[in-house]
Amino acid sequence: DIQMTQSPSTLSASVGDRVTFTCRASQSIGASLAWYQQKPGRAPKLLIYLASTLEDGVPSRFSGSGSGTEFTLTISSLQPDDFATYYCQQYNTFSTFGQGTKLEIK
Amino acid sequence: QVQLVESGGDLVKPGGSLRLSCAVSGFSFSDSYMSWIRQAPGKGLEWVSYISNSGNTVFYADSVKGRFTTSRDNAKKLLYLQMNNLRAEDSAVYYCARDPTFHSHWGQGTLVTVSS
């Protein structure tokens, strides 16, 4: 099974900051990686797929990069609506989610 | 617009059974692979199963294999998850989602609680 490890578990930041989340796969998954944002009591929202393709309607301050085993999600300038938990997901072999990174207000 | 609505979640005793449903609209259900994903309270997301558009091919996570069965009724636009021999660790919000890879459309989830 492919394991996905996200770091950090929690990230504290302020509005306007640039933040980066990291996701590592236990084996190469090519570019078969997605990122989601989830707020309490809500279903996850797709942000990025194919490692770097922005989903329709997602603000351009979100960007993704990486391939193989190392991936990043960057928010260029944090907005108040961005404080949430972020998950990566590999879909190269079935599907596995990372454990999530909670983005908190500093 | 695309809508997925899960139902059937409930409180059930260990060893019990439950069937979840997911009603869809706004896209071609019969052309779409579908997935079940769950999230235990306060925990992360876990893929459970996906089913091909015809229903002929189904895959399961090891944690539910042999106990859960995914099926679909394309005429009724319904996706099902039959859960047998439920365990405490199956307690979660269960989401249905479109596609077997990344998911642009999710339902709102239905809560399953397994407890005596």
DSSP lists the bridge partners of residue A86 as A37, A101
- Predicted local confidence at residue A16, as pLDDT: 97
Percent of chain B with pLDDT over 90: 99
* Measured distance CA(B96)–CA(B6) in Å, rounded: 7
Task: Determine if residue A94 is left, alpha or beta; phi over 0 gives left, psi from -120 to 50 gives alpha, anything else beta.
Answer: left
Residues 1-60 of B with CB under 8 A from A: 35, 37, 44-47, 50, 59
**Cβ separation B102–A44 shorter than 8 A:** no
Tell me the C-alpha to C-alpha distance, in Å, between residue A80 and each of A75, A77, A102, B46, B94. 12, 10, 14, 28, 28
Closest CA to A45 of B6, B20, B45, B7: B45
- Predicted local confidence at residue B79, as pLDDT: 98
Residues of chain A with pLDDT under 50: none
DSSP lists the bridge partners of residue B98 as B34
Mean pLDDT over the full length of chain B: 97
Contacts of A36 in chain B (CB under 8 A): 45
Are the beta carbons of A21 and A13 closer than 8 angstroms?
no
Q: What is the pLDDT of residues B43-95, one digit of tens each?
A: 999 999 999 999 999 999 999 999 999 999 999 999 999 999 999 999 999 99
- Predicted local confidence at residue A60, as pLDDT: 97
Cβ-Cβ contacts under 8 Å for B115 (sequence gap 6 or more): B11, B13, B14, B88, B91
B12 pLDDT band (50/70/90 cuts)?
very high
Contacts of A89 in chain B (CB under 8 A): 45, 102
- Predicted local confidence at residue A12, as pLDDT: 96
- Predicted local confidence at residue A83, as pLDDT: 95
Nearest to A43 among B44, B47, B106 (CB): B106
**Cβ separation A49–B107 shorter than 8 A:** no
Residue A72 to chain B, least CA–CA distance (Å): 17
* Nearest C-alpha in A relative to B108: A43
Please name the amino acid found at residue A95: S
